[in-house]
């Protein structure tokens, strides 16, 4: 067991899979000797060299075009799109080509590739470099969508994503890169589509993702001082979505609060809320509450960004509303 940062866990997960499978390759802008703009691939080039780690031009279309072609020929590429905002530049390849190739070839061509990306706000990068876009990906059939909250889950979920036969979008929340956590020694492989219960409580269920998980846990600590005990569920992936764990918890607590970094309109919490309302309505003892970022471009100013993103105080208030 060793403590490591979220960013170091990315490199650990990549090297674990590259050492295991010679068909795994890494490509992206500055992922080689520079170790990535977020320093999340430090040491990978030193270990595997230029034949398996490729720096690319500043072209998202070129990166994903190369990754798609590599996957079609039997490799398992890990491609980096530096900021998830830049998916807008290459969305045609993601949504119309990568997501649909297996279906349109009747299974003759699989695309076992992972697209990693720095996602979300909290680091003052402004409206074009701070978006939380996991709900974009969730809306596209044929894509799997993963967003870890801890260093340990970075390793385990990245391994699962690399080994999956389908394309996986792997969102690394930028404000988590410097956070630390314990990571076991040896190989770590998780299962996509399995949520993790981070805290147990009897009064309400709070469902969160990525950077919102530690905030939800902090809110749970504050609520506990007020006599309210909540269960905190870390979804870990949106596709596949672990509805069973969420529904089971809601049946026990009678209350559901989702905490989403993405803008409110069409956020992933709306899908979770609709499923619970449709399938578990009579388990609910109060309204479903969504705590979200408002439907606005995320500001760069620190006070405004902090006000826009879900805070511990807003989560506490959301749980209180659900219990009324």
Contacts of 319 (CB under 8 A, 6+ apart): 204, 206, 219, 223, 228, 230, 255, 257, 289
DSSP 8-class letter at 203: S
- 157, two tokens: 């979920």
Determine the distance from the C-alpha atom of residue 116 to the mean position of all C-alpha atoms in its chain, rounded to a whole number: 10
Give pLDDT tens digits for 94-105.
Answer: 999 999 999 999
Which among 129, 200, 255, 295 is annotated as catalytic?
129
Query: Looking at the chain, how many residues does it have?
Result: 324
**Structurally, what CATH architecture does the domain formed by 2-183 represent?**
3-Layer(aba) Sandwich (3.40)
Q: Where in the chain is the domain with CATH 3.40.50.970?
A: 2-183
Residue 324 has pLDDT above 90, yes or no: no
Instruction: Give pTM, 2 decimals.
Output: 0.97
Give pLDDT tens digits for 135-191.
Answer: 999 999 999 999 999 999 999 999 999 999 999 999 999 999 999 999 999 999 999
Rounded CA-CA distance 46/12 in Å is 13
Rounded CA-CA distance 27/190 in Å is 23
CATH no. for 196-323? 3.40.50.920
Q: Assess whether 129 carries a catalytic annotation.
A: yes
Give pLDDT tens digits for 61-108.
Answer: 999 999 999 999 999 999 999 999 999 999 999 999 999 999 999 999
Element (H, E) at 77: strand 76-83
Give pLDDT tens digits for 250-264.
Answer: 999 999 999 999 999
């Amino acid at each position: 067991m060793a403590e490591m940062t979220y960013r170091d866990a990315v490199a650990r997960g990549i090297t674990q899979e590259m050492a295991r499978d010679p068909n795994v390759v890494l490509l992206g802008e500055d992922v080689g000797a520079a170790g990535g703009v977020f320093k999340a691939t430090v040491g990978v080039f030193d270990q595997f060299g230029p034949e398996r780690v490729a720096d690319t031009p500043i072209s998202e279309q070129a990166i994903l075009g190369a990754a798609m072609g590599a996957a079609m020929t039997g490799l398992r590429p890990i491609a980096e799109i530096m900021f998830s905002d830049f998916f807008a530049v290459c969305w045609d390849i993601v949504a119309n080509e990568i997501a649909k190739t297996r279906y349109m070839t009747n299974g003759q061509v699989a695309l076992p590739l992972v697209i990693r990306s720095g996602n979300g706000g909290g680091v003052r990068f402004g409206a074009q470099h701070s978006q939380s876009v996991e709900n974009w990906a969730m809306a596209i059939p044929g894509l799997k969508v993963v967003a870890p909250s801890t260093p340990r889950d970075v390793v385990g979920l990245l391994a699962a994503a690399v080994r999956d036969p389908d394309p996986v979008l792997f969102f690394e929340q930028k404000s988590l890169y410097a956070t630390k956590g314990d990571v076991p020694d040896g190989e770590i492989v998780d299962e996509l589509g399995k949520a993790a219960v981070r805290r147990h409580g009897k009064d309400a269920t709070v469902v969160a993702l990525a950077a919102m998980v530690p905030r939800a846990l902090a809110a749970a600590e504050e609520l506990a001082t007020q006599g309210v005990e909540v269960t905190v569920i870390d979804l870990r992936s949106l596709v596949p979505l672990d509805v069973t764990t969420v529904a089971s918890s809601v049946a026990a607590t009678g209350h559901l609060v989702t905490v989403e970094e993405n803008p409110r309109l069409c956020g992933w919490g709306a899908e979770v809320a609709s499923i619970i309302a449709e399938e578990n309505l009579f388990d609910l003892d109060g309204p479903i509450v969504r705590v979200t970022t408002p439907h606005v471009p995320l500001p760069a100013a620190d006070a405004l960004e902090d006000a826009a993103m879900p805070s511990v105080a807003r989560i506490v208030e959301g749980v209180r509303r659900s219990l009324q």
